Amino acid sequence: MGNIGNLIKIDPNFRLISICDKSHAYHNETPAILNRFEKYLLKLDEFIEFGIIRKFYEQQKEIIKKICEYSKIKKEDLIVSYHSGLFPSLAIKLQEIISKRK
């Protein structure tokens, strides 16, 4: 292939959505590829609907934060297998369960 690529016609309405883990993208993709795309960071907690589940999620986050500050420990030491997606994923699962019951 060398320095010359194969030029092909692309429909002007063509859209591409690429989803990948942030750390994978920045450690494995070349800057030339990354710079060709608009980048958006989506966090799990952005998928939690407003209402009772959102309130529950925010309260749990605050409780864990206060316990960790008071005890001077990290979240990872308080909850075995803690990761940043733990509470958002629990809230999303609750959201799914509640919506199926309606």
Is the pLDDT at 1 greater than 60, yes or no?
A: no
Residue 4 confidence (pLDDT) = 61
The one-letter amino acid code at 89 reads S
Mean pLDDT estimate for the chain: 83
Nearest to 78 by CA among 92, 94, 61, 90: 61
DSSP code at position 95:
H
As a whole number, mean pLDDT of residues 31-46 equals 81
Q: 3-class SS at 18?
A: coil
Tens of pLDDT, residues 4-25: 667 788 888 988 877 787 888 8
Mean local confidence (pLDDT), 43-57: 82
